[in-house]
Structure 1
């Protein structure tokens, strides 16, 4: 399967800043017809509304709330593409006093949020023969000590994404799992790497990978180091659907 952005309608969570905002810009650059800006704070998208006018629709969406996600999906029945970009990262080591609290919050947003989005939009995406993009991370493949609970949540999200691929493929829905390294956003700056890749490395990579029908995207230089080591395993285990 492959998915071309031109004239499509998209729903992007966390669309107001960072990678999410860059995704919106890339979608319009490649001909998207309309984008739902799915954010918790509807006042945070004013700049995008001024820039794109009636081509964007801000829609209040909190991925940690099943009611909120279901309500948003009910008001976005024309969606062809869902990009679940919203996520949180809390700096927590394995023996930290707050590890259970941090893990619970990150699992609720980063994992349960994906499940809520996928369930809410499954029928719409099947009807429209659409695509689902999940923003995971290289931390889904390798634990980052200072971000242990985030890494755990992204590993779980990646596992769910694999299950969604196998579930949605017979329904004609394309699934793309995106695994960036540190990106020049507020979240990326917290990790403490040196030169960070620009957000459009991710957003433009998503456009290209959807067009090619890929399942995995490692969009930046650090991520590609993971890709080179991981590719054989992915080809022989993940993409063969052995079970």
Structure 2
């Protein structure tokens, strides 16, 4: 288990709705310092928050961030991108590449860069990866594909880092009430509720968070015949 009390946290995508809530809740739970990262960091008024430029798709940017924030004990891979439409064969080359770089390659490279530092502080360190229910439900085009890839990478990292005492947490959630989900009319989870569940699970020593009923139902459906999850295939 990994406590937020006294922790040094790095949040990617800190300017967004979920990222902002991660920053605030980490401090509320006693974090000593939070690195709030984004391509163009915003201004924060709390002296415990350190804005830090980070483009997870750029290797030099990752290297610079690790050099500037070597004291991180909890890494939260929250930054993400989504395409303009959800037909994987209709995406542009740029949409495919940018989603792969942002949603999969970037978090993996950042985790790899921080792994030695986190392992050196074994016992109170963690990596938290934000997946999606769409990792298990392939209706999101390249977004689903990249989140499924990140889920697999998270599982691999968990096994590799467990002997070093680094907790690796994977988070699945459906729609969250943020700007990214503004076009959806489906029920949306409050970002504050999501983040509270993630930190509760992390501090309890858990490895996976199913943050809403959508995630619970979709994961359960994976053991059923494919036509149960995708009824259109039965027609």
Normalised by the length of structure 1, the TM-score is 0.86
Structure 1: how far apart are the matches of 2:68 and 2:57? 18
- Is 1:222 aligned with 2:214? yes
Deviation of residue 39 (structure 1)? 0.8
Contact 2:136 2:219 (8 Å CA) reproduced? no
Which string of whole-angstrom CA distances, capped at 9 and with x for unpartnered residues, describes residues 56-112 of structure 1?
Answer: 11110000001101110111111110001001000230331x344322111111111
Q: Residue in 2 aligned with 1:209? A: 201
Partner of 1:3: 2
Please name the residue that 2:135 is paired with.
140
Cα RMSD for the two superposed structures = 1.7
Any stretches of 5+ residues in structure 2 without a counterpart? 225-235
Shift of 1:227: 4.5
- 1:132 and 1:59 mapped to 2: Cα distance? 18
Separation in structure 2 between the aligned mates of residue 165 and residue 88 of structure 1, nearest angstrom: 24
Query: Are residue 74 (structure 1) and residue 67 (structure 2) matched?
Result: yes
- 1:25-83 superposed Cα distances (whole Å, 9 cap, x missing partner): 111111111100111002xx22xx11x1x201111000000110111011111111000
Aligned residue for 1:187, secondary structure, equals: helix
Q: In 2, Cα distance between the equivalents of 1:173 and 1:78?
A: 15
**Across the two proteins, how many residue pairs are aligned to each other?**
221
CA distance in 2, matches of 1:139, 1:100: 21
Matched with 1:95 is 89
Match of 1:186 in 2: 179
Could you say which residue in structure 1 is the equivalent of 2:97? 104
Residue 229 of structure 2 corresponds to none
**In structure 2, how many angstroms separate the alpha carbons of the residues matched to 1:230 and 1:136?**
16
SS of equivalent to 1:133: strand
Distance 1:59 1:8 in 2: 17
Query: Could you tell me which of 153, 167, 170 is aligned with 1:174?
Result: 167
Cα distance in 2 for partners of 1:116, 1:110 equals 11
**Of residues 114, 121, 130 in structure 2, which corresponds to 1:128?**
121
- 1:33 paired residue number: 32
* Partner Cα separation in structure 2 for residue 221 and residue 18 of structure 1: 21
Shift in Å, 1:194: 2.8
* TM-score (normalised: structure 2): 0.89
